[in-house]
Structure formats: structure tokens, C-alpha cells
Structure 1
Amino acid sequence: MTDAPTPKPGILDIAPYVGGKSKIDGVAEPMKLSSNENALGAGQKARDAYAAAIDNIHIYPDGRAGKLRDAVAEHHGLDGERLIFGNGSDEVFALLNQTYLEAGDNIVTGQYGFLAYRISALANQASVKLAPEPGFKAEVDAILEQVDERTKIVYISSPSNPTGSYNTAEETRRLHA
């Protein structure tokens, strides 16, 4: 008998996420584009905002991101209660999947979509249906063909990392309908 905790079924079967390479032999300063990092460094407005916040950096941030939520809602004419913010997209995907997925459900995403979608869905005992992406682009019809009565979430990457493709507003509206 062991006292070790036992993870949920399937957790140990999930392959870990492996990000893009940060170092390449023979390349002094590679530009890493696979993680949505800015190869040119932080912009001046970001540096100024950081400098202005330095005296309060020791205070735990507002988990609701209230000021940011209000500013984005006002700027775009949205209901702030319908906005969600997180510490990177992985946290937002995990929260969505924890909230809406259960065993037997599935998500649909493109075959080249962000691996975090899949990892988080599998961790919540949901399955993953991959829509083919001919031409390395999310195709609305291919996505819709994968949707069934157990589909709870459809993830599209637009613009897509790593392919660089994007969906038009009309294509996105078709998915929403």
C-alpha cells in the first residue's frame, strides 16, 4: 500500500507541453516567434507602465482585473461581466475547461491548434476532436463537421501560432451561429 496521492484517470497519459526552442546551436541570438514573445523587447508604453507601478509591485494583484476589465469594456462597448482575464492564455483555457468540461464531453480545435487546448481538455477527462487544416488554416466547414452533441467548446487560433493564418470576421461569425 502506498500513501502517494493518485491523479485523476488519464492525467499520466497526457504528453507534457514542449514549447519552442529558446536556444539554437550556432545561432547567437535566435528570435523566438513560437511563444508570442516580442523579439524586439518591451515597448516604451509597457516600460512606462511598469515604472509607474513599481512602488506597488509588492501588493497582490486584483484577481478580477477590475481596472483592466472596466477599461476594455468601455473601450469596446462591452459588458465587463462577460470578459475574462488571466495570467497568460493557458490559465484562461484551463479555467474554461474546468468550468464547462466533464468526462464524455469534447472540444474541437484545428490540427495545428495550440497544444494547451488539448492538454487542458484531456486533464478534465474530455476528448479532443481535431479538424483538418488544409493550407495550415482553420477551416470553418471542417470544424463544424467535428461538432457533435458532446462538444462543449470550439477553440480556434486566429491569428494562428505557429502557422500565421487567420480567420475573417465573417468566418468567425459562421462559427458563432
Structure 2
Amino acid sequence: MKTLVIIAHPNLEVSRVNRRWTEELLQYPNDITIHELYKEYPDWSIDVPGEQQRLEAYDHIIFQFPLYWYSYPPLLKKWFDDVFTYGWAYGSTGDKLKGKRLGLAMTIGDKQESYLPEGPVSFTVDQVTAPFKASTRHVGAAALPYFAVFGASFQASDEDINQSAREYIHYIFKYQQ
């Protein structure tokens, strides 16, 4: 079974972590399919039927992105709004995502300690990603635990990034079965 990784980074070429993760994903073409939203839709005109067909072909789907103002990058939000339609993803006949496993792989610029109730963000990553989990449950899919690297903006060394890429692949394979 292959995994679909939907990458939503507005400037992947300059991202140290997301670019390295993508390079690592490319080492597993028999197990992982990559779909880059910003590359595919530079005009933001999303092919909804094509995206729905793509999702129907996979049972294991990972959304890879940088955490943007405690949420998704804007094109990924639009993608969810456009693709997860009534009658397809939810509603009385909307069952196309039922039973699929959806996960998040996020790069987070700040340090992990900031995402504690007593930290400057005041919310945990689980709390910040609650809308994703609620949407996933609403469409009948299972929300996987998230994968994240913290300090992506300023703290991560090259070795930290390489290690996170290996851990990311392990995360994918762990939930691929």
C-alpha cells in the first residue's frame, strides 16, 4: 500500500526542513507518492474532481506543511474547503474518505516549550490541530498522531534536519499498514 503525501509549502525551495523531508520521501517511490499543491496550483484553481480521485486511490494520506499562524498555509485551507465537498466527503452520501487514515507532518518554527499551556503560545499542538482532527472525524476518517519538528525556523542544525527526515519516514511506514 502506498502513502500519498500532500505537500503544501508556499516556497519549498527555500525551506530547509520541508525540502529535506521531500528529498527523503523521493527515496521511496514504490511506497510514497508526492503531490505538491503550490507547484500543481500556482493560480489556486484546484481541480476538485482530480483531487477527489487522487484521495480515493489512497488509504494513508499525510499532509506536510509549515505551521502558518497556528494553522494551515492558505492554499491547503482552500484545498480542504474545495475538495471535502458535501455528498463526497460528508453528508448522507458522502463517504469517500470513510476509513482512511489522515496525518499531519508539520514544521514548527518555534521551540517545543512554547507549545505548553504555560508557554507563550498558551496552546499545545494538539489543541492547535483540533480543527483538523474534528474535520477528519466528521468525514469518517481516522486522525493519526501528528509528526512535527520544532525550531525549524532558527534552531535546527543540518544533523537535526537529517535526523527528522529519517524519523519522518519511520512515522510514515509505522502508520502505512
Q: Report the TM-score range of the alignment, normalised by the length of the smaller protein.
A: under 0.3
TM-score (ref. length: structure 1): 0.25
Choose 1 or 2 for highest CA Rg: 1
Between 1 and 2, higher relative CO (CA 8 Å, sep ≥ 6) is seen in 2
